[in-house]
Structure formats: structure tokens, C-alpha cells
Amino acid sequence: MYTDPNSDTVLAYQTQVRYGRGEAWVTLDLSIDRDTAVDEALFRRDPWGRVPTEVRVRSRSDRDR
């Protein structure tokens, strides 16, 4: 588990994408492992087969509750 010295312990990683410039971010998955979250961001498509134009992986800590 990753621990950031400037924040609390990371509990999960949130994979988010958007399918067009300026569109809302869509959460695809929550993972407890950063590598899994990055894999989801790179290889997962939506139900219509669209490929995201932007991808981000954000950490969620116990401070975010």
C-alpha cells in the first residue's frame, strides 16, 4: 500500500476517463492497487466501445471520506 508523507494512507485508486474535451469525468473503477488502476485506464472501454480521450488515476485516502 502506498503512503504519501503529506497525507493519510491511500485506501483506493479511482480510474477516471472522459470521452471528449470538456466533458465530465466518468469513474470506471476503484482499485486497491495503483498498477491495476492504470491498467484499467489504458485498456478499458465503455459499453459503446469508445476509447477515452483523457485518462486519470486519482488516489482516495481516508481523509477523502
Helices (H), the chain: 34-43
62 pLDDT exceeds 50? yes
- Structural domain boundaries in the chain: 10-64
**What proportion of the chain, given as a percentage, has pLDDT over 70?**
77
Q: Is the pTM of this model over 0.75?
A: no
The grid coordinates listed for 27 are 469513474
User: What integer is the mean pLDDT of 32-48?
Assistant: 79
5 pLDDT exceeds 70? no
Name 27's bridge partners: 16
User: What integer is the mean pLDDT of 41-52?
Assistant: 77
